[in-house]
Structure 1
């Protein structure tokens, strides 16, 4: 089947040919005819399968064929998205697809000055892509009217609810004209979204281009188990050992993002960040640098889990597992797009076992596990199901030469035997064997009071280490003791006291 067989007009077909689109994806085959016919639509498909084109192409055609002009401060089509990055991406898609059509489009989101958005709205727009908060601000100022609205698209509506936009959406739905075409697209369709669809859509066509909440078959997924304090070291080790090139890393918190970026830059790795505390121009700049391969590692919160379309991105790393299992699907959907191969690796510690269980339940698959020698977990991650052998992993070619790392042995399979309850994280605390009671080198971001934790991540002179000594001034904090080392120091002190020497004081 070709795009021409979907009854698209010549202006759109010429654009699709110029950008190399030849064959419609399954979701496009089902959605485009329905949208052209004016049907409401509830569509679910994996990320990277062409959902944006599935609604943008037919909507642009309908707007162009009707030939109407938008009055000042009015819009004819509204696309609502949860994040600024996704808003920018969807707007660029409309702009590209409609290049040969006499239509006006714009994007509106927070974090940037409002005046340029007001200027475009004064002329009237055929298509506005917006986040809910900024859209409400424009409407309250009297800069935006909905009297000519013909079509509403909710893209990634589940994420809008996760981010707390439910109240904003209720306010918007109250002022939108009831006679309109409504399209709801997302990669996941939890029950709250289906309830919303039942209230907003009229006799909708349901499009299920793939099983709900599934991940692309072209993405190889696996888990490295380790302790929380060892994650930063393990990531840097794998980055060098595997020769990773371009890597998108997801971290749970904004503070954690900046900590990891600081560590990577200190190790000579080019890295940048995207998170909610960062000004929008800086977020746009970071993404552009990453797409241009000027930055090897982009570290982000879930604000980047949707809306980042990076061509041929080879690898996504979950430094922390997401608290919402559906976000795992969106995160790893940044790789393996449009049928390309990709890889998704998760670094998992014992207190994330329930998050891992939720992810595996959602995707219907127990992820293969491995441990890297030298970074084994003292607190074992309990089994979440039947053991799965670790799949062979292709080595992604680096975009830039990476520093050589000291040779280490290959990853070893993890023992998935369930552990008895009790102690840390619901697990019985097991002391490592003597051969494991060694220094692990620099430890970044260990919890205060945890085994191996020092003074945290501060740089500067003279912080006290976990073993009671002091690190050298002017450089990074180097914590040389892990669990077992401190006990050994105390034991040595007691022996010295018995022989008349001076022991270490607590």
Structure 2
């Protein structure tokens, strides 16, 4: 199938060709016809499947007939909500690319950046607005955004929206838009809460599932290292010096863990950057750009910050911390081995993470090969360290003030 078979107009076909895409992906083949028919849609698809174009191209086509509206008269007719700044920026860049041969105008607004330039651009008029929930509601409250003309409402990465606590904001934004509109919901997974949300804001939606949540790309080779938790950083340094070649995306569970590992690698002479939610937007974008352009070979990230990062040629993924959800592991390592390239996925597992490995292997129906020849092996019989609850802050033999007072009762 070609993009022409999807009945896209010539300006969009020209833009797609200029971007180097020859054939639509499965999610694009299945989604675009329904969106062009103005039906509500729920799509379950992973990052990297081409889902942004699956809604961007048909939205642009639907708006194209009114593209000659003067810039000052443009109204927001398509609204895309994204949970993170990086995702929002990436989506708007896609819209800008595909709209190159039209007069349709898109804009992205997000928190963590100055609001004044965003207000100035909104005043010039915009057809398509991509936004994070908080900044959108803030701008609407200040009367800089009017959602009365929205024809298509898109929720991207809905499960991440749920995880970040944005569902109430999403419902509020939905109520600010006209009741009669097309709603598209995209999510890597469809947990119960997302199903509940879909039943609330979508009308008789078409359901599309193109997510092989239980499989791993055949071009990704996996290897597992059992290692004591306290030796993980040493093993990471060993792998970086002796085993891992090319660029690598390292996943850590917490923001503190990201910062700690970045500091250690940097002190050991590695050029490294990191991204997580507490870093300023400009810093995060700069780190991502340096990694994409090859100036830095190591990028450390949390799952939330990395969601939506699209890197065409990623050589390696390193799971410094094992995820406790199988789908998260699949999403992580699915970022490498794309577009005909091979990739390598490394995982380090401590004693307290053994059950996670079992869950992952059951889900993907594959036994991940274990590498035992390394300097920091874990005793196969090792059990998770259970830290005893600390007692009173007072030293042994020293009575608390409360205890002393208790004894000074007068009868």
> TM-score if structure 1 supplies the norm length?
0.72
Q: CA deviation at 1:117?
A: 1.0
Match of 2:257 in 1: 256
Give 5+ residue unaligned stretches, structure 1: 382-422, 427-446, 448-506
- Distance, in Å, in 2 between the alignment partners of 1:355 and 1:83 is 27
- Distance, in Å, in 2 between the alignment partners of 1:202 and 1:295 is 46
Match of 2:128 in 1: 127
1:248 alignment partner, SS class: strand
Matches within 5 A, 1:254-403: 254-378=255-379, 380=381
Q: Assess if the C-alpha contact under 8 Å between 1:316 and 1:331 holds in 2.
A: yes
Q: Assess if the C-alpha contact under 8 Å between 1:226 and 1:375 holds in 2.
A: yes
Q: Assess if the C-alpha contact under 8 Å between 1:49 and 1:338 holds in 2.
A: no
Q: Assess if the C-alpha contact under 8 Å between 1:41 and 1:183 holds in 2.
A: yes
Match of 2:239 in 1: 238
Q: CA deviation at 1:99?
A: 0.7
Describe the superposition over 1:405-433 as per-residue Cα deviations: whole angstroms up to 9, x where unpaired.
xxxxxxxxxxxxxxxxxx6447xxxxxxx
1:102 aligns with 2:133: no
Q: Assess if the C-alpha contact under 8 Å between 1:149 and 1:180 holds in 2.
A: yes
Q: CA deviation at 1:379?
A: 6.2
Q: CA deviation at 1:218?
A: 2.7
Match of 2:391 in 1: none
1:44 aligns with 2:38: no
1:53 aligns with 2:53: yes
- Distance, in Å, in 2 between the alignment partners of 1:232 and 1:324 is 23
Q: Assess if the C-alpha contact under 8 Å between 1:247 and 1:316 holds in 2.
A: yes
Matches within 5 A, 1:20-169: 20-67=20-67, 69=69, 74-169=75-170
1:24 alignment partner, SS class: coil
- Distance, in Å, in 2 between the alignment partners of 1:313 and 1:138 is 37
2:77 alignment partner, SS class: strand
- In terms of fraction of residues, the more helix-rich structure is 2
1:138 alignment partner, SS class: helix
From the superposition, tell whether residues 74 and 358 of structure 1 become closer, same or farther in structure 2 (CA, over 3 Å).
farther
Q: Larger Rg: 1 or 2? A: 1
Q: Assess if the C-alpha contact under 8 Å between 2:188 and 2:211 holds in 1.
A: no
From the superposition, tell whether residues 124 and 213 of structure 1 become closer, same or farther in structure 2 (CA, over 3 Å).
farther
- Distance, in Å, in 2 between the alignment partners of 1:339 and 1:41 is 30
Q: CA deviation at 1:180?
A: 0.8
Q: Assess if the C-alpha contact under 8 Å between 2:82 and 2:157 holds in 1.
A: yes
Q: CA deviation at 1:73?
A: 8.4
Q: CA deviation at 1:205?
A: 1.2
- Distance, in Å, in 2 between the alignment partners of 1:271 and 1:118 is 35
1:190 aligns with 2:191: yes
Q: CA deviation at 1:373?
A: 2.7
Q: Assess if the C-alpha contact under 8 Å between 1:108 and 1:135 holds in 2.
A: yes
Q: CA deviation at 1:212?
A: 3.8
Q: Assess if the C-alpha contact under 8 Å between 1:60 and 1:98 holds in 2.
A: yes
- Distance, in Å, in 2 between the alignment partners of 1:304 and 1:215 is 22
Q: Which has the higher contact order (CA 8 A, sep 6+)?
A: 2
Describe the superposition over 1:378-414 as per-residue Cα deviations: whole angstroms up to 9, x where unpaired.
3647xxxxxxxxxxxxxxxxxxxxxxxxxxxxxxxxx
How many residue pairs align between the two structures?
A: 388
> TM-score if structure 2 supplies the norm length?
0.88
Describe the superposition over 1:224-255 as per-residue Cα deviations: whole angstroms up to 9, x where unpaired.
11111111111111112124221111111222
Q: CA deviation at 1:377?
A: 0.7
From the superposition, tell whether residues 122 and 57 of structure 1 become closer, same or farther in structure 2 (CA, over 3 Å).
same
Q: CA deviation at 1:322?
A: 3.0
- Distance, in Å, in 2 between the alignment partners of 1:68 and 1:55 is 22
- Distance, in Å, in 2 between the alignment partners of 1:243 and 1:22 is 33
Q: Assess if the C-alpha contact under 8 Å between 1:305 and 1:330 holds in 2.
A: no
- Distance, in Å, in 2 between the alignment partners of 1:271 and 1:176 is 43
Match of 2:204 in 1: 203
From the superposition, tell whether residues 379 and 36 of structure 1 become closer, same or farther in structure 2 (CA, over 3 Å).
same
Q: Assess if the C-alpha contact under 8 Å between 1:306 and 1:331 holds in 2.
A: no
Give 5+ residue unaligned stretches, structure 2: 388-411
Q: Assess if the C-alpha contact under 8 Å between 1:46 and 1:216 holds in 2.
A: no
Describe the superposition over 1:100-126 as per-residue Cα deviations: whole angstroms up to 9, x where unpaired.
111110111111101111111112211
From the superposition, tell whether residues 153 and 360 of structure 1 become closer, same or farther in structure 2 (CA, over 3 Å).
farther
Q: Assess if the C-alpha contact under 8 Å between 1:72 and 1:121 holds in 2.
A: no
Q: Assess if the C-alpha contact under 8 Å between 1:261 and 1:271 holds in 2.
A: yes
Match of 1:504 in 2: none
- Distance, in Å, in 2 between the alignment partners of 1:111 and 1:350 is 38
1:57 alignment partner, SS class: helix
Q: CA deviation at 1:195?
A: 2.2
